[in-house]
A and B are shown apart, each in its own frame.
Chain A
Amino acid sequence: MNKFLRQMLPFGSLVLIICVLSALRPDSFLTIDNFLNVFRRSSMYGIIAIGMTSVIISAGIDLSVGSMMALCGMLGAAVMVGVGGADPHGMSLIAGTVAGVIAGTGCGFLNGLLITKLRLQPFIVTLGTMSFFRGIALVMKDGQPINVPSYKYLSEGALLHIPVSIIIFAVIIIAAGFILKYTRLGRYTYAIGSNREAAFHAGVNVDRNLVCIYTFTGFLVGIAAMIATSRTISAQPTAGLGAELDIIAAVVIGGASLAGGQGTVTGTIIGTFLISFLRNGCTLLGISTNAQLIVIGMIIVLAVAVDQLARAKTRTS
């Protein structure tokens, strides 16, 4: 019962935020456009947050996702422009999209290799690659964005009136939820996070699984990067600056533990929407993006504190 309440807490807060905003700004908040907007933003960050969930369950962390997102976008757009000229169309857009996703997969693979082969802390490795990826993204065009004016499908396209990005998000949610719950890779992820040593002694190939997890995350970052590129019809070398904050926060608010072994896709989705609505609400209430940082920071600490408290209660009562 108590455990159930604890799991419902993020969801309850989400509902609360929506209610409060509906009351405060009924005209601007409760519109289809605004909700679609929030959903689009959520799908972009949510896709990465799902990868981050698996990383955090394995007791790791990936600080490089924001920079990786910029790099993937830049590389993808560069391929588009390289193949199709100043205003690429058709096949060159597809080629660039694939290139961006492959770039993400490669970046994630690199993270995984460094963490397992050099036996370094994920925190240190991804702190390094965070700077490294961002650096490449900035150097590529000397800090200038790459414009791809016709790259609109991922942001504006729709199937049966549902935005493509939201469909992609839904597919990834289902796939990742299945992997975590019903496959050995998912099971081993939990085992490694809960007790790495014990997992190893039970025959889990810890290194190979970790590489898979970070590569998977990179793959998802690649997809999110292309959606972001499409949203702004240009690749920005400063894209995703500070995104790791929102993403890690979403995962932790969703009930994952940085100590590993805990976390669910459902929780992460709720956490992602919570942060998106929060940001959206702040904007509608006229709070500047700079001041939003203050709010987000407080919410993170509050959410984790409440969770810890609830957890301690379940233990002793």
Chain B
Amino acid sequence: MSTSTKSNYDRSAAALRMRRISKSFGPVQALSDVSFTVQAGTVHALVGENGAGKSTLVKILAGVYKPDSGSIEIAGSVHTFDNPNQALAAGVSMIYQDLDLAEHLTAAENVFLGNELPGKLPFTVDYKAMVQKTAELAESFNFKIAPTAVVAELATGDCQVVEIVKALARKASIIVMDEPTSSLSESEVDRLFEVVRNLRRKGIAVVYISHRLEEIVDLADDVTVLRDGRVVHCESVTKLDIPHIVRYMVGRELTEFFPSRSVKLGNVRVRVDNMSSANRISNISFEIRAGEIVGVAGLVGAGRTEVARAIFGIDKKTSGAILLDNQELSIDSPSDAISCGIALLTEDRKRTGLCLGLPCAWNVTLPSLEMLGMKRVINPARENKIADALARRLSIKWQGPQAPGDSLSGGNQQKLLVARWLLAEAKFMIFDEPTRGIDVGAKKEVYLLLNNLAGQGKAILFISSELPELFGITDRILVMRRGRLVANLKTTETTQEEVMHLAAVEQNR
């Protein structure tokens, strides 16, 4: 990439200086002595393994947590934040991964939520002015959004833009994004990058957290690497490449990212025959052999998740059959599917994955209690032991099996879900974006795990938006477009370009 796309803003002014920040949660030292400086008009990436302390650092900046020690300096003056509102007032806006917009309001109403422009009469708001202001603001940053659109009807990418405009309406000088791209489609990612570059051009300081290191090399000016709550490196991105960053993150060289696939394929294990559902998909047919990993590619909205939902009994099937080991299954609910030997790791860990308020061990064993011989009476000691063993195997960072799910970092929560379905011992496992939000080291572990599961003769369906991992780990790739299966390709006989073309081609016709 050329350096001309990078910042050319005056780098002498520090928009943000966090000095010697420390923070502990009970016995866990999440941050120790972290200093972090961001210049105005730059994008500063924050990277590190799961649980390194990235989210904690930015939550301190946003006034969600109070640091145990250290200071925050914004544009030269020192602040202490007791709550997020004070941080907002000081010009810090945070774009959370799961956006917190009011779904039933329009974009403009959201932009001015809690900050409404007063109308002529008392207790009224000037909706017209808000729409106009929103349009102007979006215009001045070259964003395209419709101010009168209801948020519930917008795509995730558009919602993020609304959040950003909301931040701008509050005169934010520092915008923090915690894993903003993990639920975006490829084209939405491109657009978000344009938006971020525009922010930078206008002199806003952007703090950007992501596990996708290609994005960081592409977008950021500087990068700070955290490991175990400490800063291990801070440098301009131009002087670094991905292997270097990874080495700083994990403290060692990471070789051979994808395991070699040498599994002998067995008989056909899973056959899906002409399956349609009330939710978008129609006439889906494919087979998976024992030991085979089959990938599913497609744009966001192509119906990949819906295939998984139909198989798992969440969406009603309108036609078609599912056969496991040549036996036709009748599945009307997830509990049917699980007792037939099917597992589904869902893509949205907050909504359909974890019970965040409950202990980690409970989350892990939830679908497997019966299988573990705890159909009548639960044995907590044994349950904890099982969960503990899995945590060690997946190197989950937690304060023990009874710690509540929401005390874990995002990536470790994802690993908890992987642990759950690993325990369930299914014959047919569906993974919907299993590597979302987990760090490079953990990703490698997950790939290895998938490979081992296949080696045990399981049939695996692997849904992913990241083509490199699909190509790295699968034997075959199914391509979906608009709810239909448009191609069924051997991974070794196709290319990323071909898959991308097949997934998108219809729009050009």
Q: Which residues of A contact B (CB under 8 A)?
A: 181-184, 187, 190-191, 194-195, 197-205, 261-262, 316-317
Q: Are B367 and A203 in contact (CB under 8 A)?
A: yes
Indicate with 1 or 0, residue by residue over B29-66, a CB within 8 angstroms of chain A CB atoms.
00000000000000000000000000000000000111
User: Known: A187-B366, A202-B366. Is A261-B357 also a contact (CB below 8 A)?
Assistant: yes
With beta carbons under 8 angstroms apart, the residue of B66, B314, B352, B378 that contacts A184 is B378
User: Known: A187-B366, A190-B362, A202-B420. Is A195-B354 also a contact (CB below 8 A)?
Assistant: yes
With beta carbons under 8 angstroms apart, the residue of A191, A195, A203 that contacts B337 is A203
Q: Are B314 and A201 in contact (CB under 8 A)?
A: yes
Chain B residues near A198 (CB-CB < 8 A): 351-355
Chain A min CB distance to B111 (Å): 28
A202 to B421, CA, bound (A): 9
Chosen A-B contacts, 29 in total, with CB atoms closer than 8 Å, are: A181-B378, A181-B380, A183-B378, A184-B370, A184-B374, A184-B376, A187-B366, A187-B369, A190-B358, A190-B362, A191-B366, A195-B351, A195-B356, A197-B352, A198-B351, A198-B353, A198-B354, A198-B355, A199-B366, A200-B314, A201-B314, A201-B346, A201-B352, A201-B353, A202-B338, A202-B367, A203-B333, A204-B335, A316-B65
Chain A min CB distance to B193 (Å): 32
Q: Are A204 and B356 in contact (CB under 8 A)?
A: no
The B interface is mostly helix, strand or loop, or mixed, namely: loop
Chain A, Cβ-Cβ closest to B83: A316
Indicate with 1 or 0, residue by residue over B304-345, a CB within 8 angstroms of chain A CB atoms.
000000001010000000000000000001110111000010
Q: Are A261 and B370 in contact (CB under 8 A)?
A: no
Say yes or no for B377: interface residue by CB 8 A criterion. yes
User: Known: A204-B335, A205-B333. Is A199-B66 also a contact (CB below 8 A)?
Assistant: no
User: Known: A201-B344, A316-B66. Is A194-B358 also a contact (CB below 8 A)?
Assistant: yes
Residue from B312, B344, B354, B357 having most chain A Cβ neighbours under 10 A: B357
With beta carbons under 8 angstroms apart, the residue of B65, B355, B356, B370 that contacts A199 is B355
A200 to B346, CA, bound (A): 12
Q: Are B367 and A187 in contact (CB under 8 A)?
A: no
Chain A residues near B352 (CB-CB < 8 A): 197-198, 201
A187 to B374, CA, bound (A): 11
Q: Are B351 and A197 in contact (CB under 8 A)?
A: yes
A204 to B333, CA, bound (A): 9
User: Which B375-414 residues sit within 8 Å CB-CB of chain A?
Assistant: 375-378, 380
Chain B min CB distance to A116 (Å): 13
A125 to B24, CA, bound (A): 45
Chain A, Cβ-Cβ closest to B407: A315
Chain A residues near B65 (CB-CB < 8 A): 316
Q: Are B362 and A203 in contact (CB under 8 A)?
A: no
Inter-chain pairs besides A181-B378, A184-B369, A202-B420, 19 sampled, C-beta below 8 Å: A181-B380, A184-B375, A184-B376, A187-B366, A187-B378, A190-B358, A191-B358, A191-B366, A195-B354, A195-B357, A197-B351, A197-B352, A199-B355, A199-B366, A201-B353, A202-B367, A203-B334, A203-B335, A316-B66
Chain B residues near A202 (CB-CB < 8 A): 334, 338, 366-367, 420
Which range contains the number of B residues in contact with the other chain? 20 to 34
Chain A residues near B377 (CB-CB < 8 A): 182-183
Chain B residues near A197 (CB-CB < 8 A): 351-352
Q: Are B355 and A191 in contact (CB under 8 A)?
A: yes
Chain B residues near A183 (CB-CB < 8 A): 376-378
A195 to B353, CA, bound (A): 9
Chain A residues near B358 (CB-CB < 8 A): 190-191, 194, 261
Residue from A197, A201, A204, A316 having most chain B Cβ neighbours under 10 A: A201
How many pairs of residues, A versus B, come closer than 8 Å at their CB atoms?
78
Which 10 residue pairs across A and B have the least CB separation, nearest first?
A194-B355, A203-B338, A203-B335, A202-B366, A203-B367, A202-B367, A195-B355, A261-B357, A194-B357, A201-B352
Chain B residues near A262 (CB-CB < 8 A): 357
Chain B residues near A195 (CB-CB < 8 A): 351, 354-357
A184 to B373, CA, bound (A): 11
A191 to B362, CA, bound (A): 9
A182 to B378, CA, bound (A): 5
Residue from B333, B339, B358, B378 having most chain A Cβ neighbours under 10 A: B358
Chain B, Cβ-Cβ closest to A197: B352
A201 to B363, CA, bound (A): 12
A34 to B360, CA, bound (A): 45
Chain B residues near A261 (CB-CB < 8 A): 355, 357-358
User: Known: A203-B337, A316-B66. Is A187-B351 also a contact (CB below 8 A)?
Assistant: no
A98 to B65, CA, bound (A): 56
Chain A min CB distance to B380 (Å): 8
Chain B residues near A181 (CB-CB < 8 A): 378, 380
A96 to B86, CA, bound (A): 64
A164 to B414, CA, bound (A): 51
Chain A residues near B337 (CB-CB < 8 A): 203
Chain B, Cβ-Cβ closest to A192: B355
Q: Are B366 and A204 in contact (CB under 8 A)?
A: yes
Chain A min CB distance to B61 (Å): 14
Q: Are A201 and B66 in contact (CB under 8 A)?
A: no
Chain A min CB distance to B272 (Å): 20
A316 to B355, CA, bound (A): 21
Chain B residues near A316 (CB-CB < 8 A): 64-66
Chain B min CB distance to A141 (Å): 44
Chain B min CB distance to A260 (Å): 8
A201 to B374, CA, bound (A): 20
With beta carbons under 8 angstroms apart, the residue of A182, A190, A203, A317 that contacts B355 is A190
A182 to B380, CA, bound (A): 8
Chain A residues near B374 (CB-CB < 8 A): 184
Residue from A182, A183, A194, A262 having most chain B Cβ neighbours under 10 A: A194
Chain A, Cβ-Cβ closest to B352: A201
Chain A, Cβ-Cβ closest to B336: A203
Chain A min CB distance to B20 (Å): 19
Chain B residues near A194 (CB-CB < 8 A): 355-358
Q: Are B369 and A200 in contact (CB under 8 A)?
A: no
Chain A min CB distance to B106 (Å): 26
Chain A residues near B378 (CB-CB < 8 A): 181-184, 187
A200 to B351, CA, bound (A): 11
A191 to B357, CA, bound (A): 9
Chain A min CB distance to B306 (Å): 14
Chain A residues near B346 (CB-CB < 8 A): 201
Chain A residues near B357 (CB-CB < 8 A): 194-195, 261-262
User: Known: A184-B375, A187-B366. Is A201-B334 also a contact (CB below 8 A)?
Assistant: yes
A199 to B338, CA, bound (A): 13
Chain A residues near B380 (CB-CB < 8 A): 181-182
